[in-house]
Structure 1
Amino acid sequence: MGKHLPNNPLIEAIFEFRWLLHKDTAKNIEYDENYNFLIGLFYNGIKDVFPIRENLPSSQMPAEIIPYVPQFRFSKKEKSWPLVQLGPGILTVNDTDSYAWENNFEDLCCKTIQNIYRCYPDTNNLNLKGLTLRYINALKIDNVNILEYMHNFLKLKINFPQSLFETTEIHSIPNSLSTVFSFPISKPEGIVMYKFAKGKKDNSDALIWEISIISKDEEKINLPTEIGKWLSEAHSIAEKSFFAFSEGELYRRFENV
């Protein structure tokens, strides 16, 4: 998330921009009357950098029945990263192994937002619904008690009553885990969310660890001019969170070749 790590746990970095859709309560749908025009205009604005346009399976469905679901993907070449995705009310920037905040991701997020504001047919109706910056990490935990791992390496302790295991036939090592913590933040105004779940990486058991910064009071965010400011503040929270959890032995493992 900060400097290059030889054993980087990052699976994916995602920036998400959502704008408000019109609601038709009688038909129980949400729609954007400018969306069909936007698709071509947006592509024209980024095709010099992302010439490959891919129709996702969701593009076969009417936009009004799948609000906030990406339908189109744009990339430099097929099956490459980073990439940009567009759908009704949603725009995302995604990256994996090539992720570098200062070298490409921050700038790409800013330019992508500037492009949609430049291309959108009626910017008076392009009203922000929310911004999210999310990092998904995976830590391999083969043959390890996941609760002990979280305590020893992430400094996060989850305790169950010991009598639960001593007086019953319940085993003390969980088969699955999924837990979420969220905390308010003042800069940028919103919340930071930490999600921990047991999953898979390269067919091995892994602890999936997500850090998300989610905006609040969107009317106070002046886009597109303040997108750089929001991204910088959100990234600062995410980076400090990453180091706070991983500081010590876990971070040394990330650094080792």
Structure 2
Amino acid sequence: MAKKAGPKKKKVLDRLPNAPLAEVVFELRWKLQGALPIITDPGIHPLLAAFTPRAAKAGFPLIKDMARPEEIVGHSVCRRYFTAPDASFPILQIGPGVFASNQSSEYTWASFRAQTLRGLKILLDSYPTLQGFPFEPVHLELRYIDVFDESLLNTLDFLEFANAGTHLSLQVSESLFPTGVFESQSEGRVQIQRPLKRGGLFLVDLASAQLNVPNGKTALRLESKVMLRDNIPKFRGARFLSQVEEWLESAHNVTSPFFKRFMRPAVLEKFN
């Protein structure tokens, strides 16, 4: 007798279903040749030639060149890779001394991690072996960008939003800005950074912002990220990829719970 099918399990998201996430980015940078203001990546042209067909096989067949490698500063993107003509995300990006993996608001951690590690392996397989110029990673970064519009708390006043929507407490004496002289709405920016006990740096940046949309719509932008610039794992093939995967998990274990601690419970409930 055939067994009866049990009730379908609900899919559990590893993100808030209505989160204000605009973009999540992983970035790897490697050492360049020379000194400021002239630093170059002698491997960039062979890298692009080898990376592009491999990216296409991995599901990123469309490219968009942002600039020629010689025309941009080091650690800037010169080529982006897309999955389809009408898809803005996900993206893989390459430039002199930099690789990035991006997803947008529809992201899940599992899919983003898989995309990032897949793109990173393509990078490591594609970067040429150059005499006198070994591939040397110098920077790892995982960052999240959230955008809040006026509908969330019916205000874009920086002080009101920070105090009502987050666990920041910003007190400014009213005597500093008399109403007869100043408009009522404030704009502002707060940056806080803290070293991590296991190495690296955590940075949070809340700021008034202009969105890249027609008429320059205003919003509040939150960026939270983990960076590692010292004690980067040495590049040793598969072992390096495994170490980056471990770092990604540890960085995500910092950024993900931080957002839930940063926002007040009533605001978090709106994202559910």
**What CA distance in whole angstroms lies between the structure 2 residues aligned with 1:194 and 1:78?**
34
Determine which structure has the larger strand proportion and give its number.
1
- Pairing of 1:80-159 with structure 2 (within 5 A): 80=87, 81-102=89-110, 104-122=111-129, 125-141=134-150, 144=155, 145-159=157-171
Shift of 1:247: 4.4
Segment of structure 1 superposing worse, 111-120 or 223-232: 111-120
The answer to whether the Cα contact below 8 Å between 1:180 and 1:195 also exists between their aligned partners in 2 is yes
Tell me the number of residue pairs that the alignment of Structure 1 and Structure 2 aligns.
Answer: 247
- The whole-number CA distance in structure 1 between the counterparts of 2:179 and 2:83 is 59
5+ residue gaps, structure 1, are none
Distance (whole Å) between structure 2 residues aligned to residue 241 and residue 33 of structure 1? 39
The aligned runs of 1:14-33 (5 Å cut-off) are 14-24=25-35, 28-33=37-42
Give distance in 2, aligned partners of 1:126 and 1:169: 57
Letter in 1 for 2:117: C
Instruction: Give the drift of 1:168.
Output: 6.8
Q: TM-score, length-normalised on structure 2?
A: 0.82
Equivalent runs, 1:133-212 vs 2, <5 Å: 133-141=142-150, 144=155, 145-166=157-178, 169-174=181-186, 176-187=187-198, 189-200=199-210, 204-212=217-225
Q: 1:183 to 1:48 in 2, by over 3 A?
A: same
2:263 to 243, 246, 249: 246
Say what the alpha-carbon RMSD is for the aligned residues.
2.3
CA shift for structure 1 position 116? 1.3
Q: 1:100-137 deviations in whole A, cap 9, x for unaligned?
A: 102x1011111222221122112871111201111000
* Residues 51 and 106 (structure 1), Cα distance of their counterparts in 2 relative to 1, 3 Å cut: closer
How far apart in 1 are the matches of 2:202 and 2:86? 31
Query: Conserved in 2, the CA contact under 8 Å of 1:17 and 1:131?
Result: yes
Partners of 2:76 and 2:162 in 1: CA distance: 33
- Mapped to 2, the partners of 1:185 and 1:11 lie a distance apart of 25
* Per-residue Cα deviation, 1:184-232 (whole angstroms, up to 9, x for no partner): 1123x11111111112457653211111111131444662230110000
Secondary structure at 2:168's aligned position in 1? coil
Query: Partners in 2 of 1:84 and 1:3 — Cα distance?
Result: 22
Between Structure 1 and Structure 2, whose CA radius of gyration is higher?
A: 2
Deviation at 1:171, TM superposition (A): 4.1
Partner Cα separation in structure 2 for residue 40 and residue 139 of structure 1:
40
- CA displacement at 1:53 relative to structure 2: 3.4
User: Which amino acid is 1:6 matched to?
Assistant: P
CA spacing shift, 1:150–1:36, aligned 2, 3 Å: same
2:253 paired residue number: 236
